[in-house]
Amino acid sequence: MPLCDGCGAQVDEGHIRSRIERLEHATRFRPIHIQVLFLAAAPPSQPGDDFYRAATSVKRSAASQVFFDEIAKSVGHKPGDTADEETTLTEFQRRGFYLAYAVECPIQSPIQLAADVAKLAPRVLLRLNTSYKPKFVAAISQELQPLIPVFQSNSWAERLILQNGAPFETPTEDNLQHHAEFGDPLADSITKALAHHS
């Protein structure tokens, strides 16, 4: 069984294929120069919930829809805007924004996810420094907390976009209400970071 580059686990061919599909969908909207990397912990388990998903005819889960709409605020979209996903993603790309994951495969168990985030920290740092090379990194999953000190002690301290010193808290199906509104503070912080930078 092959080892997956995305999550470090021993996996079957189907797993590798799904990972490649996710990367292909994301790559379509990858900016040449990344201004802000939106870093989340791991992709959703349903392909229809993927941020850069292919088929937009499928309805997203509630948490996935909130996640997408809140992120869309960073390109100036308001709730209820009728822009389709393709248009939003194109604008996201045009601004130099890109969404990526610390662990590049869906991980069901929160304990496993925490372990994988910690284990893959050196690899995430390498991807930041050699592949994405963004001006800023916005940490948008509470599960990324263990990575924050790693980033801070590796020259990213000034270029991390956080909320009160911690990652932005994004919604899950269980706490949809509580974390639903991360998009406004995130959009504000990004605007400020980019204004200071230029």
Q: How far apart are CA 146 and CA 68, in angstroms?
A: 24
4 binds Zn ion (CB under 5 A): yes
State the minimum distance, in angstroms, from the CB of residue 119 to Zn ion.
13
Distance in angstroms (rounded) separating the CA atoms of residues 178 and 187: 18
Site for Zn ion in 104-123 (CB under 5 A): 105
**CB nearer Zn ion, residue 127 or residue 159:** 127
> Minimum distance from CB of 127 to Zn ion (Å)?
14
CA distances from 58 to 25, 61, 193 (A): 15, 9, 35
DSSP-derived secondary structure for 52-113: T-S--SSPPPHHHHHHHHHHHGGGT--TT----HHHHHHHHHHTTEEEEESSSS----HHHH
Q: Which is nearer to Zn ion, 41 or 190 (CB)?
A: 41
User: Site residues for Zn ion, window 9-68 (CB under 5 A)?
Assistant: none
Q: How far is the CB of 57 from Zn ion (least distance, A)?
A: 27
| x-marked contacts with Zn ion along 87-106 as a string, rule CB under 5 A | ------------------x-
**Considering beta carbons, is residue 117 or 193 the nearer one to Zn ion?**
117
Q: Among residues 20 and 166, whose Cβ is nearest to Zn ion?
A: 20
* Residue 2: closest CA among 17, 21, 10: 10
* Nearest distance in Å: CB 118, Zn ion: 16
Q: Is 160 helix (H, G, I), strand (E, B) or coil?
A: strand
User: DSSP state, 114?
Assistant: H
Report the interface residues with Zn ion, using CB under 5 A: 4, 6-7, 105
